[in-house]
A and B are shown apart, each in its own frame.
Chain A
Amino acid sequence: MHSYMVSKMSSKMVGSNNLAHARRMVQQLRVEASIERIKVSKASADLMRYCGENAKYDPLLMGIPASENPFKDKKPCTIL
Chain B
Amino acid sequence: MSVSDWLLFLLVRSLSLASLPGSIPFSSLQVQPQPDAKMCDQTFLAITFGPCDSCGLNKPLMNIYLKNEPINYCSLCVELMACQGLATGETIHTLKAESESLKTKLEEERAKLHDVELHQVAEKVEALGQFVMKTRRTLKGHGNKVLCMDWCRDKRRIVSSSQDGKVIVWDAYTTNKEHAVTMPCTWVMACAYAPSGCAVACGGLDNKCSVYPLSLDKNENLSAKKKSVAMHTNYLSSCSFTNSDMQILTSSGDGTCALWDVESGQLLQSFHGHSADVLSLNLAPSETGNTFVSGGCDKKANVWDMRSGQNVQSFETHESDINSVKYYPSGDAFATGSDDATCRLYDLRADREVAIYSKESIIFGASSVDFSLSGRLLFAGYNDYTINVWDVLKGTRVAILFGHENRVSTVRVSPDGTAFCSGSWDNTLRSHSQVGCSSGKWWRWRLNGS
Chain A positions within 8 Å of B, measured between CB atoms, are: 1-2, 5-6, 8-17, 19-33, 35, 37-67, 69-73
Contacts and interface: CB of A to CB of B under 8 A. Distances in A.
A9 B438 contact: no
A40 B114 contact: yes
B375 A50 contact: yes
B190 to A, nearest CB: 12
A23 B450 CA distance: 52
Contacts of B83: 19
B16 A40 contact: no
B407 to A, nearest CB: 9
Contact of A57 (B85, B172, B417): B417
9 contacts: A2-B237, A9-B43, A9-B254, A16-B96, A43-B347, A47-B393, A48-B121, A51-B392, A64-B438
Nearest to B103: A29
Shortest Cβ-Cβ A-B pairs, 9 listed:
A63-B436, A65-B438, A71-B136, A54-B374, A58-B374, A29-B102, A22-B95, A20-B82, A43-B350
Contacts, number: 254
A58 to B, nearest CB: 4
Given A1-B367, A54-B374, 5 more contacts: A9-B254, A24-B16, A29-B103, A50-B374, A58-B417
Contacts of A43: 332-333, 347, 349-350, 354
Contact of B373 (A2, A37, A60): A60
A9 B234 contact: yes
B120 to A, nearest CB: 8
A14 B16 contact: yes
A77 to B, nearest CB: 16
A40 B113 contact: yes
Contacts of B375: 47, 50-51, 54
B268 interface: no
A26 B321 contact: no
A19 to B, nearest CB: 5
B98 interface: yes
A5 B185 CA distance: 13
Given A38-B349, A40-B118, A47-B393, A55 B328 contact: no
Contacts of B161: none
Given A51-B376, A66-B438, A32 B275 contact: no
B225 interface: no
Nearest to A22: B95
Among A13, A21, A39, A62, find the residue whose CB has the most chain B CB atoms closer than 10 A. Answer: A62
Contacts of B332: 43, 46-47, 50
Given A14-B16, A59-B416, A64-B418, A52 B95 contact: no
B347 A40 contact: yes
Nearest to B125: A48
A37 B253 contact: no
Given A14-B16, A23-B12, A61 B434 contact: yes
B420 interface: yes
B78 A12 contact: no
A21 B339 CA distance: 28
Given A19-B82, A19-B92, A43-B347, A60 B105 contact: no
B417 A39 contact: no
A25 to B, nearest CB: 5
A9 B254 CA distance: 7
Contacts of A50: 328-330, 332, 374-375
Interface string B414-440: 001111100000000001011111101
Contacts of B31: none
A64 B276 contact: no
B117 interface: yes
B438 A37 contact: no
Interface string B308-335: 0011111000000101000011101100
A71 B158 CA distance: 14
Contact of A51 (B9, B393, B431): B393
A75 B434 CA distance: 19
A32 B314 CA distance: 8
B106 interface: yes
A29 B349 contact: no
B17 interface: yes
Contact of B17 (A14, A52, A73): A14
Contacts of A45: 121
Contacts of A58: 372-374, 376-377, 417
A28 B329 contact: no
A50 B447 CA distance: 11
Contacts of B172: 71
Nearest to A28: B311
Contacts of A32: 106, 312-314
A21 B12 contact: yes
